[in-house]
Amino acid sequence: MIAIVGLDGATWDLARPLMDAGEMPTLRRLVDAGASGVLRSTTPPVTFPAWSSFMTGANPGKHGIFDFTRRVPGTYELAFVTSRDRRLPTMWRLLSDAGRRVAVLGVPTTYPPEPVNGIMVGGFDSPVTTGIDGSFVHPRALYDEMRAAVGPYTITDFQELRIGPGWHDAALPKILAAVDRKRDLGRWVLAREAWDVFMVLFGEADTASHHFWMFADPRSPRFDGARASRHRNALRDVYRRLDAALAAIVGALPGDATVLVASDHGFGGAGTTVVHLNRWLAERGLLRFHAGARAVPARIVRGARGLALRALPRRAQERAVRRRGRGLARRLEAWSRFGAIDLARTAVFSEELNYAPSIWLNVRGRDPLGTVAPGRDYEALIERLRADLLAWRHPVSGARIVAAVHRRDEIYTGGCVDGAPDLLLEPALENGYSYVWLPSTGDERASLRPLAPVEYVAGKGGGMNGSHRADGLWALAGPAVPRGMRAAASITDVAPTVLHLAGLPVPSWMDGRVIPGVAGEIVTAAAESGNTPTLATFTGEPSARTAGEEDELWRRLVALGYLEGAER
């Protein structure tokens, strides 16, 4: 049996000191008994593309998921990503097709759940604000039984947008309780039968790190000594609770089970310099904001949307969105991001995502109001942007703002590359801390500004005090795993390794490889042989959605802060 425990956002920077202090004994035993190391995430290191690469063994250019949303070809509209958008089979599909029994609990981008040979409970990318309903669960009939056995299963039961007095005091117990709920569900599922492959995901390290980092890190430029006295141990408490949950899962496994612990990305602190990328583009004459009254719509949509999500009951929100029909959500989201921009006079623009800064060129023939000619003009502008971004410096410190600039085809390969932004930016760090990339409204005086002290404790979309890093963690222990091996691996290496440990061939289209040292002869399946799915089988247009699915998903993701500059 193979058991996988996902720890979204977990980092060795926090886990190792706790292991050394004896506060994460279960993870320590797994590391000592097997192999471990850094698990390098996708570019950018974001939940949806990262877990999709984890499950498919391929880069986003093949599986087609780059973010929570995707550009609708030929428009500026944004569609909301679900499991239907993934253009490659997951390892759960391959294991199921080979007759293996699988149980998959709470992994992002698994909603709607696929009909696996076993059980699947969808992740947080789902259209229910606080908890799950039967649509999350395959087989659907299992939902009532699951609810009766372990009680209501909630993904999150507190908001992360507005961080006011007392928020942290109230949030921490709920974060810890969420770990316990998932632990109980995992143990209940494990007791049902002897699964071939089992996975449960815990997202609480990510949530806590976004909001409590500044209290645990005395070097953080946002460190608050007064609050730190109350919350300095919050991250320790969450990691300790996760280790206890890991112990419970391991304790429910057969003695010869192989156990994998992995995170989709790491974590670090956020600094106090705000970056407005679209303002920077405007300063170079590459983007124009609407003037006067025409600049109002974007602010109105953002403000009205936020007010509605705060004030309206869930059913009222559904009616408000659905009354105008399917597709309104994607237009509203695009309007809120791009409404301040005069696209007819703009050559380059950004969605200004805090977790994934990127740039689109407004290309003639591809985009409705395109101004940049494809070919020579496109290439010249790409090179100009690369040079200018790499030369961008903080006016006071001289620190670099952007560490690297990549064309999409420099880091992605496959049939879905055109779905990615034209340029992807790797932000630099300022004294070890992330810049805060926030949306431009057109009213900014400059592209860089200091974060005001009142903004230090911010919610999703406002520059949270903890931010993603590329280096996650992995630890693997079991009969076929060499003891004491330490190595770096890629998140795309997980699926090939799991398939290999399950005795299955590794599809040739996977980018990852079996982690070196894992015992057994590695078999690579030719893409055209037998029933092995070919890459072409899973590329093309995303699957059709059910009526209202995008509008509902938009409502959920905005309500939780996962859109418009929020991180996950």
Of all residues in the chain, what percent carry a pLDDT higher than 70?
83
Decide if 134 is inside a domain: yes
Decide if 319 is inside a domain: no
Flag whether pLDDT at 563 surpasses 70: no
Residue 134's domain spans which residues?
2-57+83-157+171-269+469-536
Decide if 104 is inside a domain: yes
Q: Identify the CATH number of the domain in which residue 248 sits.
A: 3.40.720.10
Task: Give the total number of structural domains in the chain.
Answer: 1
pTM: 0.91
Flag whether pLDDT at 516 surpasses 90: no
- Please indicate whether residue 305 or residue 436 has the higher confidence score (pLDDT): 436
CB 64 within 8 A of CB 87: yes
pLDDT tens-place string over residues 418-465: 999 999 999 999 999 999 999 998 889 999 999 999 999 998 888 999
d(CA 93, CA 408): 28
Decide if 125 is inside a domain: yes
Decide if 450 is inside a domain: no
Banded pLDDT at 46 (limits 50, 70, 90): very high
| Mean pLDDT in residue range 174-201 | 96
Beta strands in 55-115 (DSSP E): 69-71, 78-80, 102-107
Banded pLDDT at 550 (limits 50, 70, 90): low
- Average per-residue pLDDT for the chain: 87
Rounded to the nearest 10 degrees, how much is the dihedral formed by the CA atoms of 47, 52, 55, 56? -150
pLDDT tens-place string over residues 81-135: 889 999 999 999 999 999 999 999 999 999 899 999 999 999 876 544 456 788 8
Contacts with 543 (C-beta within 8 Å, 6 or more apart), sequence order: 84, 85
pLDDT of residue 323: 43
C-alpha pair distances (Å), 309 with each of 108, 128, 317, 405, 554: 23, 13, 7, 36, 11
Q: How far apart are the first and last CA of the chain?
A: 30
pLDDT of residue 547: 47
CB 127 within 8 A of CB 559: no
Decide if 109 is inside a domain: yes
**363 phi and psi angles, rounded to 5 deg:** -95, 130
pLDDT of residue 521: 72
**427 phi and psi angles, rounded to 5 deg:** -65, 145
Decide if 494 is inside a domain: yes
pLDDT of residue 561: 52
pLDDT of residue 225: 87
Q: Which position has the token pair 């409502």?
A: 555
Decide if 110 is inside a domain: yes
| Mean pLDDT in residue range 133-157 | 86
d(CA 480, CA 189): 25
